[in-house]
Structure 1
Amino acid sequence: MMLHSTMFFLGSITVQEPLSSLAAEYQAGSPILLEKIKMFLEQLDNILLGSDDYEELVNRSRDQSVSDYIVMFFRFVTAGEIRTRAEFFEPFITGLSNSTVDQFCKTSVEPMGEESDHIHITTLSDALGVAIRVVYLDRSSCDSGGVTVNHHDFIPVGTSEKQEEASAPFITLLYRPGHYDILYPKPSSKVLDNVEKMIV
């Protein structure tokens, strides 16, 4: 299962190696890598400050060179959270991949193009403090003419039951074998009316 993107591009070279291998490049002051980090941070600032309008944000997210940086960033966050809470994740990782926490991060979390699994989403939800809903279609009932939509919610560690019941997950992903897509809620007509009033 991939979180949207599959490769990391350095110029015209496709790299599929652990992100930790980029540390040496960063420490050496690689101008290409530093420029890419600067570009990512500018993108992040624009989002956080609300400098980009919706259309600009959509266009940038459709640009693979931009979306790859976002995926790379979240892979860093995920690997960092797993390593920080290694004692918690170790039994799951050992049972899943028969490797150490560090090996798992280097081979299954950091490389672009590696599939993401339950551990990855749980970790990312915890690290960001954001609830994530994964929706998937169950075709086991197709013989009877129906398709069932199921979901699983990933709730961050430390969320109280009251908070969990009061709020719906902030991010919704559609799982398709080998891939996740972001689902956006359809705005209600009241929201659209209010937006139109603000524009006019």
Structure 2
Amino acid sequence: MIAKAPVPGRVKTRLTPPCTPEQAAELAEAALRDTLDVLSTVPAGRRVLVLDGEPGPWLPPGWRAVPQVAGGLDVRLAAALGAAPAGAPVLLVGMDTPQLPAEVLAEALSPTARAGIDTWYGPAADGGFWAVGLARPEPALAERVLTGVPMSVPETGAVLRERLAGAGLRVRELPVLTDVDTAAEAAQVAALVPGGRFARVWRSVGAEVR
């Protein structure tokens, strides 16, 4: 998983306004916790949080936090994928989709489902992506498909998808999910998993900002 520590003024800045920086950070922490909880239930040999910032009490047992490298998001994503041990598949998930169903990843990453697959790609509804993975990670391959991909623009996901195809990789597409960037998206995602931590925080914050 790749994430920012939930520090006011540094995370979810597109939520301010209508949220305050503190409320945005509270929502970011809720999304981070929910996503970590989901990923903790998916079978995996290692669970690594590639983190911008310092880990806090929200980091569950069984996870190891490592710092992100310097550079743009494309460089940081490539470095995170490229640092995975050779010989085992790696999937990198962001912190903005707390509604992610664990069974979706468990099925896609199962030995049977990953036969003949080179990469996983999770498209986001806004044109970005929420996950990317490599069945046989190599630093050079990670750099080839990610470095230079324009980030946080409507065509981000399409460019990455073209890169994966252009590298001759057999792609398994994951379901389209909504990233939480705006208040409208926060409300939509909270409604999908009303019993989650993110939804509870949104109900508290949303009542104040409306």
Classify the TM-score, shorter chain. Answer: under 0.3
TM-score of the superposition, structure 1-length normalised? 0.25
TM-score of the superposition, structure 2-length normalised? 0.24
The higher radius of gyration belongs to 1
Which one has the bigger helix percentage? Answer: 1
